Structure 1
Amino acid sequence: MLPPGKIPPEKLGKFVFNRLGARDDGVLVSSGPGIDAAAIEFGDRVLVASTDPITGAEKGIGFYAVHVNANDVATFGARPRWFLVSILLPENSDEGLLERIMEELHGSALKLGVAIVGGHTEVTPGLDRPIVVGTMLGEVEREKLVTSNGARAGDAIILTKWAGLEGTAIIASERGEELEGVLGREIVERARSFIEMISVVEDALTANSVGVHAMHDPTEGGVTNGLHEMADAAGLGFRVYRGRIPIRGETLEICRFYNLDPLALISSGALLIAAPREKAGEILAALAKKGINASVIGEFLDDAGTRVIVENGTERPLERPESDELWKVV
């Protein structure tokens, strides 16, 4: 039986990646391990497309749908431009729910300069919560295209913002009353506000302006799974340092209470970057000018079998999460 969350990579290889329809020479990047978007050549421009559902949250679902999909497009160095969305509502939903979701979609798209150009809306039997599935399209100059499988051995691994941002915001919203009784309202309100930081469009475009080899936003399975996905895509290993991975205090408090691993908690809002080590300082400086926190947390290794984390001076394997920590709570 398959666990909740993303389908494991070995199952994708067995059932998905070998059934992708017709071959098209215009497709520069297609589906594969650790690859969250496709790149299609159009002359001197490249169309970048990505699709993702929002299934683990109800509050702010339209906001998440726009930004999570925009993030995937931005990791290819492309600016998000056009959005299609399918809204699936539970039976007995009222018009107010549809209106709220559309207001969230509209406001989020407007903020990013994205046009909502199509989609589908229905009431779906069997659902206990709404599901929103988005497809984002963007474009980039051919020479500026970055792919998530482009990391190289020796590259510095940079993480922007903080691990676990999206998961923290979702848990604080869905379990707010319980958390306020334990941690206090101030901490919970700050944690809820992390939803405002889940876009990595500015992070990605800023880093790409300096020069990077690959970028990837760590969604389900958090930073840990994101590292594995980047390494899978490039056929590499990695070494990261636990003390260098930035985590907000609010995330740590919530994870302690629910006994969660913050590194395996959905982390939209953070961005993993593989960059030449000699450019790492320049990238950090460029991000800092935009007010974006970032840290070098490790490096990619030539040996794909070495995927480790160093904590308190001890190196140990960093295992791939079976599913996101969020599913233990919501």
Structure 2
Amino acid sequence: MLPTGKVPPEKLREIVFKHLGVQGERVLIKSGVGVDAAAVEFGDKVLVASTDPITGAEKNIGFYAVNVNANDVATFGAKPKWFLVSVLLPENADEALLKEIMTDIDKSAKELGIAIIGGHTEVTPGLKKPIVVGTMLGEVKKEKLVYAGNAKPGDVIILTKGAGIEGTAIIASEREEELVKVFGKEFVERAKAFLRKISVVKEALIANEIGVNAMHDPTEGGIANGLHEMADASGLGFKVYYEKIPIAEETKKICGYFNLDPLALISSGALLISTSRENAEKILAALEKEGIVASIIGEFLGDKEKRVIVKEDKEEELKQPLSDELWKVV
């Protein structure tokens, strides 16, 4: 039986990636483990396309759909421009739910300068809650195209913002009443406000302009899974330092209360950047100028079998999560 959440990498290789139709003309980058978008050549520009469903949240689902898909496109160095969306509603849904979702999608798209160009809307038998599936399209000059599978041995790993951003916002919203009793209203409102940190479009485009080898936004499975996905895509290992990974106080307390690992909690809003040591300081300075917190958390290694985290000067294996911690509480 498959676990809840993303299908494990070995099953993707065994089942999914063996059934992808023809090779495709002008395809520069296609599906792979840790590769969240595809890239198709159009002259001196490249079309970048990504698709993702929102299944772990009900509140703000339209916001998540736009931003999560925009993030995937931006990690290829592309500016998100066009969005297609399928809205699947549960049986007995009313017009108010559809209006709420579409208003959310519209507002989020306008904030990022994105046009909604198509999609599908239906009431779906068997659904218990709405699901929104988005496909984002963007473009980038061919020479500025990057992707998660191009990290190099010796590259430093930069992480923006911190671990568990999206998970913190979702849990605070979905379990609000319970958490208010434990931590108070002000704390929960701060945690819910993590929603506004979810876009990585700005930092991705800034970093790419300076020069990166690879970027990836860690979604399901959090920072731990994101590191493994980049390492898988690039054929590398990594070494990171726990104390250098920013974890907000709200995330720590919510994870402590529900006994969750913050490094395996869905982390849209964070961006993993693989770059040369020469460019790392330039990127950190540029992000700081824009008010974006970022830290060097480790480096990629040539030995693809070595994937470790250092805690209190002790090196241990950083295992790839089988499932996101979010599914334990929502």
Classify the TM-score, shorter chain: over 0.9
1-structure distance, mates of 2:104, 2:126:
24
Report the counterpart of residue 250 of structure 1 in structure 2: 250
Cα distance in structure 1, aligned partners of 2:58 and 2:33: 28
One-letter amino acid matched to 2:215: M
2:150 partner SS: coil
For 2:187 and 2:275, the matched residues in 1 are separated by 34
- State the Cα distance separating 1:185 from its structure 2 match: 1.0
Counterpart in the other structure of 1:180: 180
Q: In 2, Cα distance between the equivalents of 1:110 and 1:79?
A: 14
Matches within 5 A, 1:142-221: 142-221=142-221
Structure 1 residue 180 displacement after superposition: 0.6
> Structure 1, residues 111-139: CA drift from partner, whole Å, max 9, x if none?
00000000000000100000000000000
CA–CA distance in 2 between the matches of 1:327 and 1:297? 26
Q: In structure 1, what is the equivalent of residue 61 of structure 2? A: 61
Once residues 238 and 278 of structure 1 are traced to their aligned partners in structure 2, the CA distance between those partners, rounded to angstroms, is 19
Q: What residue in structure 2 maps to residue 2 of structure 1?
A: 2
1:235-275 Cα deviation digits (max 9, x unpaired): 00000000000010000000000000000000000000000
Per the TM alignment, residue 322 of structure 1 is displaced from its structure 2 partner at its CA by 0.7
TM-score by length of 2: 1.00
The residue matched to 1:279 in structure 2 has which SS?
helix
Once the two structures are TM-superposed, the CA of residue 212 in structure 1 deviates from its matched residue by 0.2
Paired letter, 2:129: R
Please give the secondary structure, in 2, of the residue aligned with 1:149.
helix
SS for the counterpart of 2:169 is helix
Partner of residue 71, structure 2: 71
| Distance of 1:212 and 1:144 partners within structure 2 | 9
Superposed CA deviations along residues 280-308 of structure 1, whole A, max 9, x for unmatched, are 11110000111100000000000000000
Q: Distance in 2 between matches of 1:148 and 1:155?
A: 13
What TM-score comes out, normalization by structure 1 length?
A: 1.00
TM alignment of 1:7-22, pairs within 5 A: 7-22=7-22
Equivalent position of 2:284 in the other structure? 284
* RMSD (CA atoms): 0.4
Gap regions ≥5 residues in structure 2:
none
Match of 2:228 in 1: 228
Letter in 1 for 2:71: N
Offset of residue 102 of structure 1 = 0.2
Q: Kindly provide the CA deviation profile for residues 10-46 of structure 1, in whole angstroms up to 9, marking residues without a partner as x.
A: 0000001111101123000000111000000000000
- Cα distance in 2 between the residues matched to 1:315 and 1:148: 25
Aligned match of 1:114: 114
SS at match of 1:41: strand
Q: Is residue 2:323 matched to residue 1:323?
A: yes
Alpha-carbon offset, residue 76 of structure 1: 0.2
The match for 2:37 is 37
Deviates more, 1:73-82 or 1:140-149: 140-149
What is the match of residue 294 of structure 2? 294
Q: Percent identity?
A: 69
Three-state SS of the structure 2 residue aligned to 1:20 is coil
Q: CA deviation at 1:163?
A: 0.7
Deviations 1:141-186 (A, max 9, x none): 0011011101000000000011100000000000001001001111
State the AA in 1 paired with 2:281.
Answer: G
Letter in 1 for 2:85: V
Aligned-partner Cα distance in 1 for 2:83–2:45: 18
Runs of 4+ in 1 over 3 A off after TM superposition: none
SS of the aligned residue for 2:28 comes to: strand
Q: Give the partner amino acid of 1:59.
A: K
**Partner SS state of residue 6, structure 1:** coil
Aligned pair count reads 330
